[in-house]
A and B are shown apart, each in its own frame.
Chain A
Amino acid sequence: DSGVTQTPKHLITATGQRVTLRCSPRSGDLSVYWYQQSLDQGLQFLIQYYNGEERAKGNILERFSAQQFPDLHSELNLSSLELGDSALYFCASSGGSNTEAFFGQGTRLTVV
């Protein structure tokens, strides 16, 4: 158990819809990272937040947005969903006394 919690574990939705993925970082970690992994594809960095502020942005679509709340949990919002958005979405956190990042078990999103 990495200590990073992601909900829901599975999500099935229709094209055009909007969903919110949630991530609770490890206790004491201030940084949260979001990654997307499509079928048989690598892990693509989407965005990072540190203590509520955006720190780095990767190949995140304009239809996607994220935020980190005062209690440090983070949400990734995906809107106007397309079939190609079907993927595993991972959240990771780091900070405190450790420099390594720890990953959650992911949310599997299926767009039908």
Chain B
Amino acid sequence: QMQMQESGPGLVKPSETLSLTCTVSGTSLNSRDYHWGWIRQSPGKALEWIGSLFHTGSTYYNPSLQSRLAMSVDASKNQFSLRLNSVTAADTAIYYCARILITYSYVIDFWGQGTLVAVSS
């Protein structure tokens, strides 16, 4: 059974870097049919697509975050990661990792449980 689990610090100081890892089990990242991505949800607010990557390392970022964002994949560990630098309070959110089906469209078909990251001094 497939599982996706986010991990990383729950508290980050302003201007520092937010780093999260998603560990995937029950399936391989090495699939031509899927991207692996991140979505966040600010407290009480709607969802925001952050970006995604292919198992080859090709990345696709939200332009609003692109200048601060880096994603990477470690296929040997079946993990992928997110780094967002120069964070502010506006980056406080629940961060979800997700699987995205790309064979016909861009469909987020499986989500991790999410991890809350607060930006505060």
A binds B: no
Q: Chain A interface (Cβ within 8 Å of chain B)? A: none
Residues of B within 8 A of A (CB): none
